[in-house]
């Protein structure tokens, strides 16, 4: 225990809980009220080196554990998460700020991913194909790669580690995990449960600390062939450059500027429900958040009026209070950034319809709360319609028709999630075809991905890889092609021969 009364935690390296080599620490506090959550190692390169060495050594045995046995450990992990779901959700509301139902959903997503990836232990499918030569068999199989460097953000502090670590583990890789410094306690709990589930020493290691001291060294480490990172576009570019000399496989899940299209024939009440959930759930701190609403002329005024009325009824407060609709944002820096975009929107000529201020009073003064904000009369080229705000702000953009709506939706550098509300099946199918995003929803908001489909986006949202579903396995495995010739003689493929000419 420290002088503040907060529990002191450690890194987990080679099966042991250890302090940072430099002895330094940092404190995690609640964004809701400033309460101390815990004290964690402020690690450095030496700690990363130890963790990578442990993971590299453990890999030689872990890769030989039959994949179904690896999957059984993930099944046990999922069961432990389910058993402790309420406690973890409560911790998440305090350390990250989500309201309790959303926090429980974050944990549930990790439970779902645990069971899904555990099942891959009995699949990990390859392919068999016929050979062009007689008496010859051939197939492709997935092979593990080695040590995976996992760097995760604070906004989904249980779900996102599960998207990365569980497929890596079931494929036979080992892990060095750097959780976000805003949510280290949740990262710690994740690893504690993996250990309890039976992951062997050295297979999973956690090193707490900052991006420069821990993350950058992990990215550059010569014994880490795979880096999986979720965060901002700017940091993702830096990760790519840092890993380039090592020719590492880099998996990036970056930003979004997601749009909901509302056509004149839409169910307006349903559309408002989808916008409120997508724009203001998790206080807008989702890469899939709906920070743009593209509305056809005929329904614009009605939708704007109904949306503002709903938004003004949302209650801010700590996530553990049952009546809270919108919790705090993660820290003061985020609060200041979000508020700066309100000023930008006003300066650009957008009309502030509601919100746009830091919230105080009524017990909110010790936390980081921002009023849910809606701008109207937004032009597609305005900064508030182009740049990721990552807060409870959305912008209403008026359009003429579906072609105009699709053009505006696609007219940003990101391509993660998109949505359209319409009762016209032809418009729905055109949107499915023409919206340039990795995810498209019909008559639903921009959030709500399920673990058995690929998650990720186009353009600057990432670098072409996907999380979740079977697509995730491609990040954490290499393909090996195998040929077995049982003819008893040397046969040369791709060599012209007069023997056995083709018909």
- Residues involved in catalysis: 253, 287
Strands 249-253, 226-230: pairing is parallel
Q: Which DSSP string do the residues of 236-270 spell out, in sequence order?
A: HHHHHHHHHTTT-EEEEE----EEEEE-TTS-HHH
The residues that bridge with 162 in the sheet, in sequence order, are none
Which helix (H) or strand (E) segment holds residue 74: the answer is: helix 67-83
**CA–CA distance, 492 with 318 (Å, rounded to integer):** 70
CA–CA–CA angle 323, 329, 334 (5° rounding)? 165
Question: In this structure, what are the phi and psi dihedrals at residue 73, rounded to the nearest 5 degrees?
Answer: -65, -40
* Radius of gyration for the chain, computed over Cα atoms and rounded to the nearest angstrom: 25
| Side-chain half-sphere exposure of 136, counting CA atoms within 13 A | 15
**CA–CA distance, 372 with 393 (Å, rounded to integer):** 6
**Token pair in block for residue 442:** 């019909």
Helical packing angle, 85-95 and 100-120, nearest 10°: 130
Tokens 């743009």 map to which residue?
A: 292
Is the dihedral angle over the CA atoms 318, 322, 324, 329 positive or is it negative? positive
Strands 36-41, 25-29: pairing is antiparallel
SS3 sequence of 193-214: HHHHHCCCCCCEEECCCCHHHH
The residues that bridge with 479 in the sheet, in sequence order, are 142
**CA–CA distance, 45 with 55 (Å, rounded to integer):** 15
> CB burial class (10 A; 0-12, 13-18, 19+) of residue 15?
middle
Tokens 């995760």 map to which residue?
A: 152
Contact between residue 418 and residue 289 where contact means Cβ atoms under 8 Å apart: no
Strands 414-415, 204-206: pairing is unpaired
| Side-chain half-sphere exposure of 165, counting CA atoms within 13 A | 31
**CA–CA distance, 153 with 304 (Å, rounded to integer):** 33
């Amino acid at each position: 225990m420290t002088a503040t009364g907060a529990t002191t935690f450690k890194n987990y390296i080679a099966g042991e809980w250890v302090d940072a080599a430099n002895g330094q620490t940092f404190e995690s506090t609640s964004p809701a009220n400033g309460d101390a959550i815990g004290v964690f190692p402020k690690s450095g390169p030496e700690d990363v080196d130890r963790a990578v060495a442990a993971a590299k050594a453990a890999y030689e045995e872990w890769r030989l554990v039959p994949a179904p046995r690896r999957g059984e450990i993930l099944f046990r992990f999922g069961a432990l998460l389910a058993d402790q779901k309420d406690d973890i959700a409560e911790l998440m509301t305090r350390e990250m700020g989500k309201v309790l139902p959303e926090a429980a959903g974050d944990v549930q997503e990790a439970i779902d991913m645990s069971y899904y990836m555990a099942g891959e232990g009995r699949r990990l499918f390859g392919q068999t194909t016929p050979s062009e030569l007689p008496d010859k068999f051939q197939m492709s199989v997935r092979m593990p790669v080695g040590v995976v460097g996992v760097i995760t953000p604070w906004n989904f502090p249980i779900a996102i580690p599960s998207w990365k670590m569980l497929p890596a583990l079931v494929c036979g890789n080992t892990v060095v995990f750097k959780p976000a410094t805003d949510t280290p306690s949740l990262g710690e709990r994740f690893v504690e449960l993996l250990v309890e589930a039976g992951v062997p020493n050295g297979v999973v290691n956690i090193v707490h600390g900052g991006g420069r001291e821990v993350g950058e060294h992990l990215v550059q480490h010569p014994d880490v062939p795979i880096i999986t990172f979720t965060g901002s576009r700017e940091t993702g570019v830096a990760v790519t450059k840092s890993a380039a000399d090592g020719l590492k496989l880099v998996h990036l899940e970056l930003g979004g500027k997601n749009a909901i299209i509302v056509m004149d024939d839409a169910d307006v009440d349903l559309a408002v429900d989808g916008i409120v959930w997508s724009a203001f759930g998790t206080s807008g701190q989702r890469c899939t958040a709906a920070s743009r609403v593209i509305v056809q002329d005929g329904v614009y005024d009605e939708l704007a009026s109904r949306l503002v009325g709903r938004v003004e009824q949302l209650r801010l407060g700590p996530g553990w209070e049952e009546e809270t609709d919108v919790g705090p944002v993660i820290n003061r820096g985020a609060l200041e950034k979000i508020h700066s975009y309100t000023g930008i929107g006003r300066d650009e000529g957008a009309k502030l319809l509601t919100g746009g201020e830091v919230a105080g009073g009524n017990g909110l003064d010790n936390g980081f709360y921002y009023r849910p904000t809606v701008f109207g009369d937004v032009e597609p080229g305005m900064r508030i319609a182009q740049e990721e705000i990552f807060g409870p702000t959305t912008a209403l953009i008026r359009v003429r028709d579906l072609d105009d709506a699709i053009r505006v939706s696609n007219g940003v550098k990101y391509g993660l999630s998109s949505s359209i509300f319409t009762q016209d099946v032809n418009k729905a199918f055109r949107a499915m075809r023409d919206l340039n995003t990795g995810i498209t929803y019909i008559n639903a908001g921009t959030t709500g991905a399920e673990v058995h489909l690929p998650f990720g986006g186009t353009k600057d949202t990432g670098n072409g890889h996907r999380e979740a579903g079977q697509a995730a396995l491609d990040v954490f495995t290499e393909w090996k092609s195998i040929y077995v010739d049982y003819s008893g003689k040397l046969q040369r493929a791709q060599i012209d021969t007069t023997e056995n000419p083709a018909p």
